């Protein structure tokens, strides 16, 4: 797991429209970077919709929200259209950012062990350093918790 104060690994990935987006494109701004397992699954949909619901608040704070999973560009496009997601979704099928941010982990479900993305959120500061790490976040409360943190209302 990356830690507070470390330099955030830069990456360049395709968004839902096929445009290449780099973390360095947002230099000088705080950025919310959230990693999630899979488009159109119950938890990931609730988490994305929570970020969509609070998106105006993030925009008012001038803090971009970026969601990353290993799904394809086409999957992200359908997901964003279906749920009217206004923020950036990046496709990482080669696990470039997912592994750089150390969120590709062994997971156990019903006794079965497999590798997958552990739902994790990072806040990157304007200098490109990790300001906050939230590992194993809950999909229903993550967007509000990060927003409260950014507003100085929570640790």
Residue 37 inside a domain? The answer is yes
pLDDT digits (tens, 9 = 90+) for 68-107: 999 999 999 999 999 999 999 999 999 999 999 999 998 8
**pLDDT averaged over the chain?**
94
Residue 3 inside a domain? The answer is no
Q: Which residues constitute the domain of residue 27?
A: 12-150
**Residues in contact with 76: Cβ distance below 8 Å, sequence separation at least 6, in sequence order:** 15, 16, 39, 69, 89, 90, 91
Residue 155 inside a domain? The answer is no
Rounded to whole angstroms, the Cα distance separating 62 from 30 reads 8
Cβ-contact 60, 153 below 8 angstroms: no
- Residue 78 is part of a domain; what is its CATH number? 3.40.30.10
The set of catalytic residues is 44
Residue 6 inside a domain? The answer is no
Q: What is the pLDDT of residue 155?
A: 67
**20-24, 127-131, 138-142: least confidently modelled range:** 138-142
Tally of domains in the chain: 1
Question: What average pLDDT score do residues 39-61 get?
Answer: 94
Vertex 61: Cα angle to 153 and 9 (nearest 5): 90
């Amino acid at each position: 797991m990356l830690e507070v104060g470390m330099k955030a690994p830069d990456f360049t990935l395709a968004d839902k429209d096929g445009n290449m987006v780099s973390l360095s494109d947002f230099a000088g701004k705080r950025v919310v970077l959230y990693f999630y397992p899979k488009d159109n699954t119950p938890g990931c949909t609730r988490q994305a919709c929570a970020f969509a619901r609070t998106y105006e608040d993030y925009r008012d704070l001038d803090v971009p929200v970026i969601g990353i999973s290993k799904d394809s560009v086409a999957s992200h496009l359908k997901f964003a259209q279906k749920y009217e997601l206004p923020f950036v979704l990046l496709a990482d099928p080669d696990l470039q950012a997912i592994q750089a941010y150390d969120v590709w982990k062994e997971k156990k479900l019903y006794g079965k062990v497999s590798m997958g993305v552990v739902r994790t959120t990072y806040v990157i500061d304007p200098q490109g350093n990790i300001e906050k790490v939230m590992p194993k976040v809950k999909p229903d409360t993550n967007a509000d918790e990060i927003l409260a943190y950014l507003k100085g209302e929570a640790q």
